[in-house]
Amino acid sequence: MPELPDVLLYIECLKARIAEQPLERVRLASPFVLRSVSPPISAINGKNIRGLRRLGKQIILEFEGDLFLIVHLMIAGRFQWKEKGTRIPGKLGLAAFDFPSGTLLLTEAGSKKRASLYLVQGKAALASFDRGALEVLDSSPADFRHALTKENHTLKRALTDPRLFSGIGNAYSDEILHRARLSPMKLTSKLSPDEITRLHQATKSTLTEWIERLRNETGAGFPSKVTAFRPEMAVHGRYGEPCPACGSPVQRIVYAENECNYCPTCQTDGRLLADRAMSRLLKQDWPRSLDEWEFHIESRRS
């Protein structure tokens, strides 16, 4: 799922292409992508773009007439910038927005179509999409501590809770926790003041560095490789590969459609966190430490 750095990049690149331009027409390939009925989607045809902003992981296109189009890309939704009038691709295409300067395509890979469009009128209607989460890049240490400790959750869950922190998801939470050298399963109520400070600094620095990295990669172009799995990441998506800080193999916990990646040496004092499914299957054979895990791997190879 595109997270804060990717969403910001989309917005910056779109501003350069469509700000103050009229939307000549919107074309829908899938009626299910539009989740609102009033005002009708045709209401934005011919209207100028007055601004673009981020609301959590959602992208907001503001049109004249106090109209707001809310785009949630979910896991597999992506934007593509094409020549004006480009047809919507048959398999992946959801919608197209035609501007004088080009066409913005909304696509979604996979069979589960979760990306959504909502058109609302008025700031009050837009406010109903705001979860009230903290914008970490603008936060003070006190604000961060309040958001983090208002509920007792694991750090992984707290950082990815859209009611608590804005724009952070599965990928960047892994990177943040690795930089902060904190276990993803540590409870927020058990954090020391020093650990909270370290986490706040790690959150800001990780997101800021990735924003700049993505800007430099994209240059004057349009983002074409928006992915949660990047080779430059420290732990996310790098199960079994060496941690860049200590060389220990990165571990993971798989749950539902997500996974949590971490370094046991840097983050959990060498302990392996139990994967619910695998620990239930292996029971007493589940490795408790990195040494046991490495012994288990070597035994399987031999």
- Gap between the Cα atoms of 294 and 51, Å rounded: 53
Given this model, what pLDDT does residue 275 score? 67
Sequence-separated (6 or more) residues with CB below 8 Å from residue 229: 171, 236, 237
Q: Which of 86, 102, 127 represents a domain boundary (last residue)?
A: 127
Full DSSP string of 142-194: HHHHHHHHSS--BHHHHHT-TTTBSS--HHHHHHHHHHHT--TT-BGGG--HH
- Gap between the Cα atoms of 184 and 179, Å rounded: 12
Closest CA to 3 of 162, 150, 134: 162
The predicted model scores a pTM of: 0.90
SS3 content of the chain, % helix, strand, coil (to 5): 35, 25, 40
Diameter of the chain by CA atoms? Answer: 69
Given this model, what pLDDT does residue 110 score? 82
In a domain, 102, yes or no: yes
Same domain, 149 and 288: yes
Domain count within the chain: 2
In a domain, 302, yes or no: no
Q: List Cβ<8 Å contacts ≥24 apart for 241-250.
A: 243/178, 245/178, 248/290, 249/290, 249/293, 249/294
- Gap between the Cα atoms of 203 and 183, Å rounded: 14
Given this model, what pLDDT does residue 40 score? 97
**Phi, then psi, of 135 in degrees rounded to 5:** -85, 100
Q: Is 12 helix (H, G, I), strand (E, B) or coil?
A: helix
- Gap between the Cα atoms of 302 and 295, Å rounded: 11
Per the document, the length of the chain is: 302
Same domain, 143 and 231: yes
The pair of structure tokens assigned to 16 is 């350069």
The secondary structure element, H or E, covering residue 16 is helix 4-18
Closest CA to 67 of 95, 48, 86, 80: 48
Cα dihedral sign, 138-142-147-152: positive
Closest CA to 26 of 105, 108, 113, 121: 105
Same domain, 145 and 247: yes
Within 10 angstroms of residue 49's Cβ, the number of other Cβ atoms is 22
- Gap between the Cα atoms of 238 and 251, Å rounded: 8
- Gap between the Cα atoms of 67 and 235, Å rounded: 41
CB 162 within 8 A of CB 131: yes
Given this model, what pLDDT does residue 26 score? 98
Same domain, 179 and 157: yes
CATH number reported for the structural domain that contains residue 101 in this entry: 3.20.190.10
**Per-residue pLDDT tens listing for the chain (302 residues):** 899 999 999 999 999 999 999 999 999 998 899 999 999 999 999 999 999 999 999 999 999 999 999 999 999 999 999 999 999 999 899 999 999 999 999 999 988 889 999 999 999 999 999 999 999 999 999 999 999 999 999 999 999 999 999 999 999 999 999 999 999 999 999 999 999 999 999 999 999 999 999 999 999 999 988 998 999 999 999 999 999 999 999 999 987 677 899 999 999 999 999 865 544 444 444 445 454 444 344 444 44
Given this model, what pLDDT does residue 302 score? 41
Same domain, 290 and 163: yes
CATH number reported for the structural domain that contains residue 148 in this entry: 1.10.8.50
Domain region containing 149: 136-296
Same domain, 163 and 73: no
Same domain, 37 and 89: yes
In a domain, 301, yes or no: no
